[in-house]
Chains A and B, each alone.
Chain A
Amino acid sequence: MDVYSFYKQQLGTLNSNQKHLINNLTMLARHYASTPNQVVDAIHDQISHLKPHYRLPVLYLIDSICKNLAQFNYAHYFKPYIAKDWLESYTLVDGSTRSKLEELVITWRNGGPYGTPLFGEQAQLECEERLYGNGGWKSSIPLSYGPSRTLVVSELQAALEKRKLHLQYYPFDEKVKSHVHALSTLEKILLTTNVPPDQLNQIYERVKSMTNDSTPLVGSTGAGGGAPPIPPLPQSQSQAPPPLPTPAIISTPTPTPPVQPAAPIPVLAAQSNPLLQSLTPPPPSTANAAPAQPGSNLSGLLQSLTASGLLKPGNATAPTAAAGNGSTTPTSLTPLTINTNTTSDDSDKEKQYDEAVLALDIVLDNNDILCPRPNLDKLFYDRLTIQCPQCPRRFGDTKSGKEQLGEHIDTHFRINRRNKEGSRGVTRSWLIVLRDWMNDVADDSLASQRGPMASHEDSQHAQQMEYRKKLESSSVPVPIDAEEAAQLCPICKEKFKSEFSEEDEEWVWVNATEDQGTVYHATCFNDRGIEGMDGVGQASSVLGKREREGSTASLLDSVDSKKIALDDVTTDSVKIEGGDDN
């Protein structure tokens, strides 16, 4: 069977919105990453034949594949279809699913590398036009209907995330800092209180006006959509000399000479500037207190935020646009931008570093190693100007550096998600044997940057699912005797589910196993814990992506279920050895 047919067949299992199903199919897509077209075609063909309420999980699957397998660039292959698939589904589904689809499409807005739209500007716009009318999110045409709460929250969070990302690169951009504060305050209010529709609309307009503000942010793309992200100038410099803290000042940065983003001096200047301090957001205590008195307080807060210049009035689109033109033009002309845009010289930068290091006159000698050599610590930073927002890892401002950063941030995302879901069941792995260790050779591919365990987790999960599936499909013929047929699983005290087995041409209990004349649920029996282990298994390999052929026995070793001591699992029986019963 070719990949297309096989994947399409597997898609048939995705009949409900279950995480493990989506994960399985994502893993499968990873497996077939060499033939992305076949996978993408299978998904696209599948979705167009699905009934409306089956579509959301498939769209979630697309989302999962594109975000989790970013290194295989699946998004590129979905690009031609995604808008059509999403729009069609959006028209068909009911209200609650709609809001889920809205949330989804908003996460796509910054889901690509560097906060670019996951499926490109064009597809994003097509989808968003359905939500916001002509011009998408950036249009100034008001919504024909009031925005839903989830929509506002997602918009707000998207705007917030984007600014937070920006701040990681330009931590001293006071303007964006103030935006972040304002947005977090709003987010807190939205999440903790029941905001009336008119105020919801008000917030929505404010958030929108902030998004329309053309502050150059990390990940902002030009109209072409495909242009590489243009790193902005540090904003702290451009707002230094205003005479009065009025809202207008914030949105009209004056062009200034380019500043090295890494230089620490402007930082101090910005922080010690009393004017900027007066502009800094109200202390967090205000924000914490706000949710306690919802409603009336909110409009007051919004007004005070507006007054302090942190938010612009929602209808002030014309001055914003003018200011935007004023600020973007000089930015794009600065030499700094041009320098950082030339990413073709990856190897040149490495060469320069190598030469700089080799040129050092260091001798391994007792006196020489004591010699202070000023500024050599810069070798750690000069080439690696981009720092991960969440940890101290640094990456070069080059194509490959950015790719690595994208991968790296992706892993953060997955770990954070896992931590949110609770890391229950994570265990220390067994150590690997010499044969595996000596071949655990790191390669230069990007995948190795993800850490060896990343894919191990996935494959382990897949193995676990496979094993679980095996258990669930094991069956026992339904006893003919009526009394026996009414028996319950002695472990969970629940009924068995009977099904007609085409294969055996008789009625069977599924997820059932027989042990010494008693029938149990196979999964219950597996989970009940067995004392007195016997037999020696294989150490499970933790080599992650370097998959090796594993016997069933070694697969079972990494199954994440409680205390199993199964020697053999077949589809129709589960045999236990060394248990108490023997």
Chain B
Amino acid sequence: MSRVVTVPALNEFRLELDVSQELSVRLVEGRAEVNGFELSLNKWSTLKDELRCSIYTWTGCKLEVNGSSLVEYTSNETPLISYLNLHLAFEQQRIRARNAHSQHAPSPEKPNERLPGYANAVDPASSAYRVMVIGQEDSGKSTLSKTLLNYAARTGKGWTPIFVNLDPSDGGPLPPGTLSATAYSTSTQTTSPINAFGSSSTSGAALDNSAALIPQALPYAHASPARNPKVYKVLAEALARRLDMRLERDAKARSSGVFIDTPAAFSSPNVGSDDKSSKYDLIKHALHVFNGGGFPRSMSTADNPQVDVLLVIGHEKLYIEMQRLQSSLDASLAQKLKILKVPKSGGAVETDDAYRSRIQAGQIKSFFYGSMSNLSDEQLSPQSMTIKIDNLKVFKITEDKVAPSSALPIGASRVLENTQLERVNFESSSQLLTLVHSLLYLVKWPDANDVLNKHAKEFEGDLDSKDLIRADLVGFLIVTAIDSTKRTITVLAPSPGRLPSLNAVFGSFEWQDT
């Protein structure tokens, strides 16, 4: 049943789909956008996978809609005006940053080597804003992050903003359980919550972000930071340092800005806090680690790029708490940090755990098998292969078993343990069988003798070489079958050929074909 919907200017058409519903929509008149992604005139898009989205129009538009949905209505109470204002404020800073960079660094950069004096080329003024979004479950954090990201990528200025996903329950462009940083040079279409942030690259060519992204990721392997806050913080910091290394070389990304999406756990005051008196430790930690600390030492910390803007979505109490928290931060951090309250969209819909696990399963599946997007019909061909379990080193990330701070002697602070990984040998077959359907995160440690990796070692200090934060996440496997007598496991690998590594981390995510 096809229908035409007329949406007045500054209104949005909201849609909610049920599990197996698919809905086609096309713009027949005017202009419209979904999370900042402009719709093409007369091109059908298919929305699916329980997508909840809103099609916004600044000018007024007519949409043709085909298919059924749970709910659809037009609303004039939208936060888009504030989103656009935020975008333009950030755009001002991007332009200033680019101008500052082109004034200070006239010579072409040599990204592969650090020339004498190269570090000085990183002018603090050449960084656009780092923006962190916090809010409660289903408040629209990812929607806001994505809209700002899409707006930046859409201006035609050639920005390549970096999206940092700190929410392991939603992998963004990757399967869940990951923390990642990804540069975007074009805006991303929203057709499904599974690939709302596009997906990582394939062996085929791609034009949109549906199969072209190159994320840098670390494996946390669980859905919530609350499960193991210590490891979570270590990984968030490691990701921040990796981001610094990229931005130090990538002037274009530096002047394009960073958008950090966070899990809902950030807005729970006690998650990740060592004691009751300290609240919102995850936020404090994230604000501290994303401060450009990995930039060249020659730069004084006060000049480091840092999180400049903290956007708090629609929660008065959280906003007040953040203002209080600001005073407890380091002076240099607190001074530059702007905390803003952004209205929550009426279109934000509450979801439940079952919904989230369906999306997670979808993200895992689409990593291996691909998904159909509107621009590239993509079906991937993963490979099944059998491996002797004893050839594969399987690790689990150790649980946070250390005693609480209160148990430490007065004045003592905890030193981070070097090794966060524990090898699991699967000696008994019942132990081995627990691996079935697990999502494995393939990790690889850089070769210590690789001279090209001297940068990678810089921020590691004297940590053990098998530490999790030094490991590169190079891919994922699914354990599809186990032969406990032969001690072999059958895995699904995204690509054929030799595995890039035989070290795997497993956690709490599982997937099986249904």
Query: Is A bound to B?
Result: yes
B84 near A435 with CB under 8 A, answer: no
Chain A residues near B58 (CB-CB < 8 A):
377
B:287-343 near A, CB below 8 Å: 309, 338, 340-343
B338 near A380 with CB under 8 A, answer: no
A399 within 8 A of B: no
Chain B residues near A87 (CB-CB < 8 A):
none
A542 near B496 with CB under 8 A, answer: no
A563 near B500 with CB under 8 A, answer: no
Instruction: Scan A438-471; emit 1 where CB is below 8 A from any B CB, else 0.
Output: 1111111000110111101100100000000000
B91 near A441 with CB under 8 A, answer: no
A394 within 8 A of B: yes
B377 within 8 A of A: yes
In the complex, what residue of chain B is closest to A464 when comparing beta carbons? Answer: B203
A:520-571 near B, CB below 8 Å: 531-540, 542-543, 556-565
B:116-165 near A, CB below 8 Å: 151, 154-158, 160
Tell me the bound Cα distance from A112 to B201 in angstroms.
29
In the complex, what residue of chain B is closest to A437 when comparing beta carbons? Answer: B216
Contact of A364 among B174, B338, B381 (CB under 8 A): B338
Contact of B242 among A391, A438, A531 (CB under 8 A): A438
Give the segment of A34-42, A247-255, A417-425 that binds chain B: A417-425
In the complex, what residue of chain B is closest to A414 when comparing beta carbons? Answer: B205
Tally of contact residues, B, Cβ under 8 A: 107
Q: Closest CB-CB distance, A39 to chain B, in whole Å? A: 23
B81 within 8 A of A: yes
**Given A427-B494, A428-B382 in contact, is the A264-B59 Cβ separation under 8 Å?**
yes
A415 within 8 A of B: yes
Chain B residues near A435 (CB-CB < 8 A):
446, 450, 452-453, 455-456
Tell me the bound Cα distance from A358 to B37 in angstroms.
23
A438 near B246 with CB under 8 A, answer: yes
B252 near A431 with CB under 8 A, answer: no
Chain B residues near A556 (CB-CB < 8 A):
497-498
A379 within 8 A of B: yes
B:469-508 near A, CB below 8 Å: 472-475, 488, 494-502
Chain A residues near B386 (CB-CB < 8 A):
531-532
**Given A357-B95, A418-B205, A444-B158 in contact, is the A370-B343 Cβ separation under 8 Å?**
yes
B242 near A442 with CB under 8 A, answer: no
Chain A residues near B103 (CB-CB < 8 A):
none
**Given A371-B85, A394-B38, A563-B385 in contact, is the A428-B367 Cβ separation under 8 Å?**
yes
B398 within 8 A of A: no
Tell me the bound Cα distance from A368 to B383 in angstroms.
54
Tell me the bound Cα distance from A426 to B495 in angstroms.
9
In the complex, what residue of chain B is closest to A387 when comparing beta carbons? Answer: B40
A362 near B92 with CB under 8 A, answer: yes
Tell me the bound Cα distance from A439 to B151 in angstroms.
25
Chain B residues near A379 (CB-CB < 8 A):
88, 155
A533 near B309 with CB under 8 A, answer: no
B155 near A380 with CB under 8 A, answer: yes
B500 near A540 with CB under 8 A, answer: yes
Tell me the bound Cα distance from A538 to B502 in angstroms.
11
In the complex, what residue of chain A is closest to B29 when comparing beta carbons? Answer: A267
Tell me the bound Cα distance from A332 to B43 in angstroms.
32
B208 within 8 A of A: yes
Tell me the bound Cα distance from A169 to B133 in angstroms.
38
A284 within 8 A of B: no
In the complex, what residue of chain A is closest to B60 when comparing beta carbons? Answer: A264
Tell me the bound Cα distance from A314 to B6 in angstroms.
43
B41 near A171 with CB under 8 A, answer: yes
Q: Closest CB-CB distance, A337 to chain B, in whole Å? A: 23
Contact of B380 among A427, A439, A542 (CB under 8 A): A427
Instruction: Scan A385-405; emit 1 where CB is below 8 A from any B CB, else 0.
Output: 001001111111000010000
**Given A171-B42, A362-B88, A430-B475 in contact, is the A415-B205 Cβ separation under 8 Å?**
yes
Give the segment of B228-236, B345-353, B368-376, B403-411 that binds chain A: B368-376
Tell me the bound Cα distance from A171 to B215 in angstroms.
37
B207 near A369 with CB under 8 A, answer: no
Chain A residues near B222 (CB-CB < 8 A):
none
Chain B residues near A401 (CB-CB < 8 A):
156
A431 near B340 with CB under 8 A, answer: no
Tell me the bound Cα distance from A366 to B312 in angstroms.
10
Contact of B201 among A412, A443, A456, A564 (CB under 8 A): A456
Chain B residues near A208 (CB-CB < 8 A):
none
Chain A residues near B112 (CB-CB < 8 A):
439
B38 near A429 with CB under 8 A, answer: no
B204 near A562 with CB under 8 A, answer: no
A392 near B207 with CB under 8 A, answer: no
In the complex, what residue of chain A is closest to B30 when comparing beta carbons? Answer: A264
B388 within 8 A of A: yes
In the complex, what residue of chain B is closest to A461 when comparing beta carbons? Answer: B203
A539 near B500 with CB under 8 A, answer: yes
A457 near B252 with CB under 8 A, answer: no
B:450-466 near A, CB below 8 Å: 450, 452-453, 455-456
Tell me the bound Cα distance from A16 to B86 in angstroms.
59
Instruction: Scan B175-195; emit 1 where CB is below 8 A from any A CB, else 0.
Output: 000000001011000000000
B111 within 8 A of A: yes
Chain A residues near B240 (CB-CB < 8 A):
none
B201 near A453 with CB under 8 A, answer: yes
Tell me the bound Cα distance from A491 to B258 in angstroms.
54
Q: Closest CB-CB distance, B37 to chain A, in whole Å? A: 7
A393 near B245 with CB under 8 A, answer: no
Tell me the bound Cα distance from A395 to B216 in angstroms.
29
Contact of B200 among A380, A395, A428, A536 (CB under 8 A): A428
B253 within 8 A of A: yes
In the complex, what residue of chain B is closest to A559 when comparing beta carbons? Answer: B497
B378 near A427 with CB under 8 A, answer: no
Chain A residues near B342 (CB-CB < 8 A):
369
B309 near A364 with CB under 8 A, answer: yes
B100 within 8 A of A: no
Chain A residues near B224 (CB-CB < 8 A):
none
A431 near B217 with CB under 8 A, answer: yes
Contact of B475 among A380, A431, A448 (CB under 8 A): A431
B250 within 8 A of A: yes
**Given A377-B59, A430-B494, A556-B498 in contact, is the A412-B387 Cβ separation under 8 Å?**
no
A438 near B245 with CB under 8 A, answer: yes
Tell me the bound Cα distance from A364 to B285 in angstroms.
24
Q: Closest CB-CB distance, B211 to chain A, in whole Å? A: 7
Tell me the bound Cα distance from A437 to B380 in angstroms.
23
A433 near B498 with CB under 8 A, answer: no
In the complex, what residue of chain B is closest to A363 when comparing beta carbons? Answer: B89
Contact of A433 among B42, B157, B474 (CB under 8 A): B474
B501 near A439 with CB under 8 A, answer: no
Chain A residues near B86 (CB-CB < 8 A):
364, 369
In the complex, what residue of chain A is closest to B186 when comparing beta carbons? Answer: A393
Tell me the bound Cα distance from A537 to B415 in angstroms.
35
Chain A residues near B391 (CB-CB < 8 A):
532-534, 578
In the complex, what residue of chain A is closest to B129 when comparing beta carbons? Answer: A364
A451 near B488 with CB under 8 A, answer: no
Q: List 30 A-B contacts (CB under 8 A).
A: A171-B42, A354-B95, A368-B85, A372-B10, A376-B84, A384-B156, A387-B40, A392-B37, A415-B206, A426-B379, A427-B382, A427-B495, A427-B496, A428-B203, A428-B380, A432-B474, A434-B446, A441-B253, A442-B185, A451-B207, A532-B386, A536-B444, A536-B499, A536-B500, A536-B502, A539-B444, A539-B500, A539-B501, A562-B383, A564-B497
Please give the residue numbers on chain B whose beta carbons come within 8 Å of chain A beta carbons, in ascending order. Answer: 10, 29-31, 37-43, 58-59, 81-82, 84-86, 88-89, 91-92, 95-96, 99, 109, 111-112, 151, 154-158, 160, 174, 183, 185-186, 200-208, 211-212, 214-217, 242, 245-246, 248-250, 252-253, 309, 338, 340-343, 367-368, 370, 375-383, 385-388, 391, 442, 444, 446, 450, 452-453, 455-456, 472-475, 488, 494-502
Starting from the known contacts A369-B85, A434-B245, A533-B385, 7 additional A-B residue pairs (CB-CB under 8 Å) come to: A408-B207, A411-B207, A427-B381, A431-B214, A442-B185, A531-B386, A533-B391
Q: Considering the complex of A and B, which 8 residue pairs feature the smallest CB-CB distances, nearest first?
A: A539-B500, A428-B494, A377-B58, A426-B204, A537-B498, A433-B472, A392-B38, A437-B216
